[in-house]
Chains A and B, each alone.
Chain A
Amino acid sequence: MYETSYHRAESVEEAAKKMGTAEGGKYVAGGQTLIPTMKQRLASPDALIDLRHIPDMKGISINGKDVRIGAATTHAEVASSADLDAVCPGIASLAGHIGDPHVRHMGTIGGSIANNDPAADYPAAMLALGAAIHTNKREIAAGDFFAGMFETALEEDEIITAVSFTAPEKCAYSKFPNPASRYAMAGVFVARTGDDVRVAVTGAGMDGVFRWEEAESALGSNFAASALEGLAVNEGEMLSDIHGSAEYRANLVKVMAMRAIAEAG
């Protein structure tokens, strides 16, 4: 690992100010992606600014159906929130299946979203829930936030402070995890409120997370797994790598979508 410096920020303002004085700094929260990346010398920030202890960025608040999750909230905290599970079980269950227990104790929702790994779980939930991503500068709709593999709308020094969404009537997430890494080979988050159905897919698309709009319109009038029977995602837009071909992933997307619909009920 290359040399770096470390600063634990007490507030969002302090963190942003500190970033302004670094040449190539990085924000770190759980560090579960950044630290392995730094070990491989694929990242060499001259400054690490730790957001994990900023009180304003932690915790889950629920008001009726309105949910707000602080960006520094860990996956374990999201997974174990009974209040969240009661209004939006899909996201609590998703968080409980990220990585392994150790990763869930350190990793944060803000970190996962900011990294936008094409196989990460949270981006699918954000897109399907129509979440708002709150930063220290603005509010960004999830649909405008994810901009392709590891790319987001965030500016270099921008900090995600929270995400918020209105819990749908029904939702569920189903993923086929890579057996070694537990990253999604295909993960599908389905959210339904009345006739409005959203289907977001992670792990499979060449450009990262995407909405399967054809499935959404089919499910709007018939919310049942069988509504997807004649449909298929475009294989040409699927990832193909050592873990699975594009054809295999396209099939997984459909199967995971059907499972998520069955689970959402």
Chain B
Amino acid sequence: MSKMQINITVNGKKQELLAEPRELLIHVLRERLGVTGPHVGCDTSHCGACTVDMDGKSVKACTVFAAQANGADITTIEGLGGPDGLHVLQQMFKEHHGLQCGFCTPGMITRAYRLLQEIPNPSEEEVRFGMAGNLCRCTGYQNIVKAILAAAAELNAAKEAAQ
């Protein structure tokens, strides 16, 4: 099959590439663009390790064709923060030990980033419900939830201080 021209913005940078129609967004990100933060955990649309933000919505990049994402604006964990400047969520995951092996963490944080925009001041129950698409096989979730609630408090305090 002939390849298709795909234009996407990834973490603020415009990218043009050729992809097969059957190619998934996760593979374009990881293998063609070297954006390896989003992981392939299950490849069966269950685990959410591949979570990215597409046009302001959390999606599983293993369940979106690159062609469907043509024209979209994608944010991955790399776009949120890095070693030189951690995002509040990254800081809080570190502080509250919101990970063990770390494999699910990029997806967790990318989803939590969107969740805190959907619900800036969530209850514990809202965090658990809002994170339902992201699985972790190590932590039992307790510290992940703590980290997200702490990040929400931190972000809200910063917002108040700015006003």
Query: Which A residues lie at the B interface, using CB under 8 A?
Result: 1-6, 8, 28, 31-32, 35-36, 38-39, 48, 50, 52, 76, 99-103, 105-106, 180-182
Q: Are the C-beta atoms of A5 and B21 separated by less than 8 Å?
A: yes
Interface bracket on B: 20 to 34
> A105's contact among B2, B58, B67, B70, by CB below 8 Å, is which?
B58
B68 part of interface (Cβ distance < 8 Å) = yes
7 A-B pairs with the lowest CB-CB distances in the bound complex, closest first: A100-B133, A6-B21, A105-B57, A6-B67, A102-B133, A100-B132, A3-B1
B13 part of interface (Cβ distance < 8 Å) = no
Q: Are the C-beta atoms of B133 and A6 separated by less than 8 Å?
A: no
Compute how far the CA of A76 lies from the CA of B130 in the bound complex, rounded to whole angstroms.
Answer: 12
Compute how far the CA of A39 lies from the CA of B23 in the bound complex, rounded to whole angstroms.
Answer: 11
Main DSSP-derived SS at the B contact region: loop
Q: Are the C-beta atoms of A36 and B45 separated by less than 8 Å?
A: yes
Q: Known contacts A32-B63, A50-B68; decide if A182 and B132 are in contact (CB<8 Å).
A: yes
Q: Are the C-beta atoms of B63 and A35 separated by less than 8 Å?
A: yes
B153 part of interface (Cβ distance < 8 Å) = no
Write the nearest CB–CB distance from B142 to chain A, whole angstroms.
18
Compute how far the CA of A6 lies from the CA of B69 in the bound complex, rounded to whole angstroms.
Answer: 12
Q: Known contacts A6-B4, A102-B59; decide if A35 and B64 are in contact (CB<8 Å).
A: yes
B65 part of interface (Cβ distance < 8 Å) = yes
Using CB atoms, name the residue of chain A closest to B43: A39
B38 part of interface (Cβ distance < 8 Å) = no
Write the nearest CB–CB distance from B19 to chain A, whole angstroms.
10
**Which residues 12-65 in B have Cβ within 8 Å of A in the complex?**
20-22, 24, 43-46, 48, 51, 54, 57-60, 63-65
Compute how far the CA of A28 lies from the CA of B51 in the bound complex, rounded to whole angstroms.
Answer: 20
Q: Are the C-beta atoms of B59 and A6 separated by less than 8 Å?
A: no
B residues less than 8 Å from A38 (CB atoms)? 22
Q: Are the C-beta atoms of B21 and A31 separated by less than 8 Å?
A: no
Q: Are the C-beta atoms of B65 and A6 separated by less than 8 Å?
A: yes
Compute how far the CA of A3 lies from the CA of B4 in the bound complex, rounded to whole angstroms.
Answer: 13
Write the nearest CB–CB distance from A44 to chain B, whole angstroms.
10
